[in-house]
Structure 1
Amino acid sequence: MNRLRTPLGPLDTAVAVAMIFAWGFNIIAMKIIVGEAGALPSAMLRQLIVLVVCLPFLRIVPGRMLALTGFGLLSGACFYLAVSWSLAVADNVGALAIAGQLGVPFSLILAVLILKERIHWRRIMGIILALSGVALLVFDPEAGKEIYGILVTALASLIWAFGALIQRGLNGVPVLTITAWVGAMGSLAMVPATLIGDPAGFAAIPDLPLSAFGWVAYAAVVSTILGHGAMAWLLQRHDVSVIVPFTIPTPVVSVAAAAAWFGTPVTPLMMLGGFIAIVGVGIVALRTAKVDGPVPEATKASNVPD
């Protein structure tokens, strides 16, 4: 049953802010893990931890297993492999954080092409702004050096967008069950992929410093499980249109955190491109939330991007 919108309380706001920073700082954790372990082992370790933590929630959901396994393979294997790959080939991860915002407009474009959804001029303008903001990065001397990483990040965003379409068919499935299947399918795919693609990296996992395992635990537990769990909790209590604006500042936190931690430059053109992209994503997200309106209780917990 749909509910009327309720105001945010201090606890809700605190959880939302914690969620923003959990996701925003994740780019630091992922870059360090990839640097220590390599792209394939880091993606594998993350999914193994997600699986272990969420294993009690792994269960067969009749009528949803095709969607769960497909979503798990896309989000648990393909998406994180592309993200790790992009971090492995790039130094300025702030540019990647901006390019990572393409998932929202990509998902809307796919909804129009595949699901034949109709959109109006405001969301079309949002898509154009988001794409234009990322395109500006190519003309920046610093961000332009990361064109390969930006393209791989765009691929990761496209994979995420396909996963988001599949996730629409998972309404009513508990978010921790979805996350458990992401960990399970991601682990099933990434373990053999790492053994074949990077056997030396796989063999070197026991020799990784404890700090590396700490960072991968942060990515798996704090960002993936707790971050998305916080989103699900907030969506159970409030309408989508109330919560969506809290996700928009995440790339700003990521860019600032990367600049502070790694000393990566943030140029005026990067700031302009990032601002334009975030405005575009904000328009798409906010207009989509208003179009969707209030969502049923069972639906809210599962409408969380991985």
Structure 2
Amino acid sequence: MAVPSSSLLSSLLLLALLLHHCSAAQDHGSAAVIVNISSLEDVVRDRAFELLHRTDKLVGVPLTACPSPCGLVEVQASALRVRSSSLWADGVNATAADTAGFTVPPRVVPSPFARRVDVVFERFVGGNSSSGALFAAPPGYALAAPVAALLAYDVSTGNNGSRAVGLRALGAPVRLEFGYLAPAAANGTPPFNATAARCVTFAVDSGKAKAVATHAMASDTACTVTGTGHYGVAVRLQPTPPSLTPPTPQPPAAVRERWWAWMAVAGVGGVVVVGFLAATVVAAVRWSRRRRREEMDLRALAGEELGRMAVRGSRMPAAKMVRTRPELEDGSPMAWRR
């Protein structure tokens, strides 16, 4: 596995100024610049393809051409052309002490397969990226290091490097080094702690980046990644302390005693009201029952009254007249002859 020296790597990582695909907008009298990440990386890819025609070593990618003078984005980029067989057997180590870089271990293949690939490493070190306009940290976090991108392009025979490919690790994962991380991050974050920091994965869609996943760091300065993409390191922001409200003043003793007196009066009054309501309900029920009984008696006494007769000291009802008198039919035998 080839390991470039620290001086060589530092000389290869050149600072570039890129102006591309941006529009000016007024905000309180100042112009804001919108940068398309995909267009920016297309310029880096094309420049790397031109430089790697003449060498197979790790080279810096200086960006001197500016499509339009509308903004500044500082990007450090380096590129390396490697055969897939060498990538599988030896991997690539493009890191040095206290500097950012990447390590591709053996047993890594391009996906989809390509015989030769250009591996491009980028760091968004200034401009809009430092203010979070290009890469925004997840809610509650702040970026502690410049966002790094590891990209790969197919440069096999007949290809101009415009087709992006992934790096599929069948053994150890790909490793990104972020270099020196500040002991205290900005925005009121606590001192950097690798055990509490998170590696952030960004997804770029239509030229804009969005944080989609986080995972723990592999070491104090490195993250293991699944392959190509955009990655950063974020630390949690300190929560805002809650505002302390002054305690409610206690009422004086005289007010408290008067309050208890009013509570006692209210309790006695409530009992009296409840008792009165209960008595009213009972009286209403009794009156209703008596009223119904009287109505039934009146309905029973209505109409013609039967006569009464005395039978051995008892008075019994008796009819005042007989409508049909008993008669004997002709030919009927007498009762005593039956």
TM-score by length of 2: 0.24
Q: Which has more helix, going by share of residues?
A: 1
Of the two, which has the highest radius of gyration? 2
Structure with greater contact order relative to length (CA < 8 Å, sep ≥ 6) = 1
TM-score (norm 1): 0.26
